[in-house]
Amino acid sequence: MDQLKRTVLFEKHQQLQAKSIGFGGWEMPVQYEGIIKEHQACRQDAALFDISHMGEFFYEGNLEESGVNEVSTTDFVALPVGKCKYGFLLNEKGGVIDDLIVYKLSPNRLMFVVNAARIDADFQQIKSHIKSGIFEDKSNVTAKIDIQGPKSKALLQTLCSFDLDELQYFGFTETTLLDAPAIVSRTGYTGELGYELYIDNETAPKLWDQLIALGATPAGLGARDVLRMEMGYSLYGHELDETITPLEASLGFFVKFNRPYIGKEALEIQKKEGIPRKIIAFSTRTKRAPRHGFEIFQNGQKIGMVTSGTFSPSVGEGIGLGLVTCAQYQQGEPLEIKNERGAVAIYETTLPFYKKS
């Protein structure tokens, strides 16, 4: 197996005695002191995540004529400068090569933020469809630190000359942090107020230390997964992959049909004929946690599979997402999940699992 890559903050994680796991080809901290403590820090205070494994591509050129506007479901031409947007790279069948966020830096400049495990596939996909302009992968020189939680704004503001009150959700600014150029966006994957910080590799360790000194709690991928699950957000490799369309993943909201892009025809056919599968959200109503790969049964028939599952500290119950076959699934009929240990009843619910009081 290939050697796992390490982020520029790896030594910091070691100093903090983080437990690590392999994730998307990277050796990443899964937890420091404990997933529940880190989860609570994000919901109530401010949590800090090293997300430097994710990829950043930059494009500069004519957005209308280069073909770049057809690589994704997001209309980059229509996107205002200073805004970022969630969307998909699709294959011709409408399957998801990756989900990504694209930042409009200027009328002819974009930043693509992609999943770590998909960096190579995404770069090839985009590169092969653009006819002009400069397209670069700067993942190896770009660090990314997310600060998330109700206290994140006050905390980050002490390091930032830009007035963070001016940033709306999915807005960003090019500014400086610790005298180095930085992109600060009002985004995140936790459901909390929070910011994603893009910074050069040299500045990242200093920034990490300063944010901790100011009171942010380092949090690992374990807490991050629980937080995104509580919001019902999809994760590539779980709710999304090259065989699942955004319509099946219940993400049709992020797909528009008013302009051409790769995979659009396949989505149109699916929309017209009906989607073969869909994502359902459910709770166990007990502390039992569903897990990825458990089979979903209804009326004695296997109708799908759990794509993500965990125990939710906010809800106090096991929560999950699952992909079911529409032709077999009957709304309202009892459901259960099974693994080698036996069956557990599940109850369909609406998203998000966690609603702020």
Residues in touch with another protein (CB under 8 A): 30-31, 34-36, 39, 222, 226, 286-289, 291, 310-311, 313, 341
Q: What is the Cα–Cα distance from 3 to 26, expressed in whole angstroms? A: 8
Q: Which is nearer to another protein, 19 or 259 (CB)?
A: 19
CB 304, min distance to another protein, A: 20
Q: Which is nearer to another protein, 7 or 310 (CB)?
A: 310
Q: Which of 206, 196, 186 is nearest to 145 (CA)?
A: 196
CB 287, min distance to another protein, A: 4
CB 30, min distance to another protein, A: 7
CB 339, min distance to another protein, A: 9
CB 289, min distance to another protein, A: 5
Q: Which is nearer to another protein, 211 or 319 (CB)?
A: 319
Q: Which is nearer to another protein, 207 or 346 (CB)?
A: 346
Under a CB-based contact definition with an 8 Å cutoff, are residues 13 and 34 in contact?
no
Q: Which is nearer to another protein, 51 or 226 (CB)?
A: 226
